[in-house]
């Protein structure tokens, strides 16, 4: 089942709605069947949820992985865009020192962070800031991510973005795995064992727990093979999912289109999806009522993104104050997904954090 190559258009003036494969496809395989589910209900929320329930039943989406996902069921500390330690370590020499200090401060204050999210600042970049090598830079983690895991006891949610055309993993660059290379981007060719290699190493060597695939929309926009070749985008996501499944991991999607939400119906270990833009202090990305409904309907826990729990942060990458930390906290809770504050030391509002 391939949701990646479907599209729809409507014309309200002519009372017409149309469905079909996207026009950019080079070829639609012989025998391909196109199916559409139309559902009419009462009220937007109930209708979307009921439609989603039918879709989950049709695809047999297994919710067990979501129910047991450690990062959904426990409080985490996040370092993505908007968090204070995003490409910034404050008074600390490197991220190892900074993250260990966060753990020590949280323990002292009685804030029970149970895992750590590491964002795009930790790995090697190549062309157009794509991923060259998905391993830790020594300047960031002098003793490896495993040293932080050992000192904190925190398993890891690890960010990844698009692969650069000069990624070390591609046979075109001397690596072991065939990649589709177009422009500045690359994508692993399905069926070559890449995802098991990547994720098994990450889990065994430095404690990966959740693989976060970000920039999904960017890949879909700027790597033409994903919308010209019928199965490539689907196979990319499904093999990523199989690699996670085989290694006891779960996946979060980020910067996703509706087709990615739908494709996750066939990948049980995709348990969560970020439903907002990037957080910045004072912006309105907490306004996620529509995307939360879609995520819940399709069996995904909705992640609001990180947030600040204090108005002012004294040691923070972002100096603009957060005027509504209570609103951010409530939005994160009502979304129903992971909770991941990104405050700096010592500006963590324990009362708000513990209310989650």
Q: How big is the CA angle at 85 (ends 146 and 295), to the nearest 5 degrees? A: 85
Confidence (pTM): 0.96
* pLDDT at residue 180, as a whole number: 98
pLDDT of 213 > 90? The answer is: yes
Distance CA 195, CA 337 (A): 25
52-79 pLDDT tens trace: 999 999 999 999 999 999 999 999 999 9
- Quickly state the pLDDT bin for 255 (edges 50, 70, 90): very high
Q: How confident is the model over 280-291, as a mean pLDDT?
A: 95
Q: How confident is the model over 282-296, as a mean pLDDT?
A: 96
The alpha carbon of 126 is separated from its chain's Cα centroid by a whole number of angstroms, namely 21
Q: How big is the CA angle at 349 (ends 251 and 283), to the nearest 5 degrees? A: 65
Q: Is the four-CA dihedral 241, 268, 265, 81 of positive or negative sign?
A: negative
Tokens of 211: 């693989």
Q: For residue 130, is the peptide bond before it cis, meaning its omega torsion is within 30 degrees of 0?
A: no
* pLDDT at residue 17, as a whole number: 84
Q: How confident is the model over 120-135, as a mean pLDDT?
A: 98
* pLDDT at residue 275, as a whole number: 98
* pLDDT at residue 10, as a whole number: 81
User: 175 with 215: CB under 8 angstroms?
Assistant: no
* pLDDT at residue 6, as a whole number: 83
219-239 pLDDT tens trace: 999 999 999 999 999 999 999
The alpha carbon of 224 is separated from its chain's Cα centroid by a whole number of angstroms, namely 22
* pLDDT at residue 153, as a whole number: 98
- Quickly state the pLDDT bin for 19 (edges 50, 70, 90): confident
5-16 pLDDT tens trace: 888 878 778 888
* pLDDT at residue 141, as a whole number: 98
- Quickly state the pLDDT bin for 116 (edges 50, 70, 90): very high
- Quickly state the pLDDT bin for 18 (edges 50, 70, 90): confident
* Of residues 6 and 252, more confidently modeled: 252
* Of residues 17 and 159, more confidently modeled: 159
Of all residues in the chain, what percent carry a pLDDT higher than 90?
92
Which own/partner pairs from 52-58 qualify as long-range (CB within 8 Å, at least 24 positions apart)?
52/294, 52/296, 52/297, 52/298, 52/299, 53/297, 55/262, 55/265, 55/297, 55/298, 56/265, 56/298, 56/299
User: 157 with 76: CB under 8 angstroms?
Assistant: yes
* pLDDT at residue 4, as a whole number: 87
Tokens of 112: 């029970």
pLDDT of 343 > 80? The answer is: yes
Q: How confident is the model over 237-252, as a mean pLDDT?
A: 98
Q: How confident is the model over 128-156, as a mean pLDDT?
A: 98
Average pLDDT, the chain: 96
């Amino acid at each position: 089942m391939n949701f990646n190559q479907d599209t729809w258009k409507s014309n309200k003036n002519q009372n017409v709605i149309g469905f079909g494969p996207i026009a950019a496809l080079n070829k639609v395989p012989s025998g391909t069947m196109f199916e559409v589910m139309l559902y009419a209900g009462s009220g937007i929320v109930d209708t979307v949820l009921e439609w989603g329930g039918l879709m989950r039943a049709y695809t047999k989406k297994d919710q067990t992985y979501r129910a047991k996902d450690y990062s959904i069921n426990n409080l985490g500390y996040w370092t993505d865009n908007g968090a204070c330690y995003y490409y910034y370590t404050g008074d600390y020499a490197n991220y190892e020192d900074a993250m260990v200090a966060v753990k020590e401060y949280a323990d002292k204050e009685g804030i029970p962070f149970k895992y750590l999210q590491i964002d795009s600042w930790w790995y090697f970049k190549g062309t157009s800031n794509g991923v060259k090598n998905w391993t830790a830079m020594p300047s960031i983690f002098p003793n490896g991510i495993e040293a932080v895991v050992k000192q904190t006891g925190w398993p890891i949610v690890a960010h990844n973005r698009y692969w650069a055309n000069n990624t070390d993993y591609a046979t075109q660059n001397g690596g072991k795995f065939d990649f589709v290379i177009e422009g500045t981007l690359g994508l692993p060719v399905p069926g070559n064992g890449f995802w098991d290699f990547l994720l098994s190493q990450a889990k065994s060597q430095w404690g990966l727990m959740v693989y976060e695939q970000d920039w999904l929309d960017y890949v879909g926009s700027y790597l033409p093979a994903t919308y010209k070749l019928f199965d490539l985008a689907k196979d990319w996501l499904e093999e990523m999912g199989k690699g996670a499944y085989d290694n006891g991991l779960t996946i979060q999607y980020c910067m996703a289109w509706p087709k990615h939400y739908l494709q996750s119906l066939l990948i049980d270990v995709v348990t969560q999806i970020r439903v907002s833009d990037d957080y910045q202090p004072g912006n309105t990305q907490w306004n996620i009522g529509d995307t939360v409904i879609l995520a819940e309907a399709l069996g995904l826990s909705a992640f609001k993104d990180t947030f600040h729990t204090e108005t002012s942060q004294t040691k923070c990458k972002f100096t603009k104050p957060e005027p509504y930390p209570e609103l951010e906290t409530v939005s994160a809770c009502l979304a129903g997904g992971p909770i991941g504050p990104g405050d700096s030391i010592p500006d963590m509002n324990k009362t708000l954090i513990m209310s989650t």
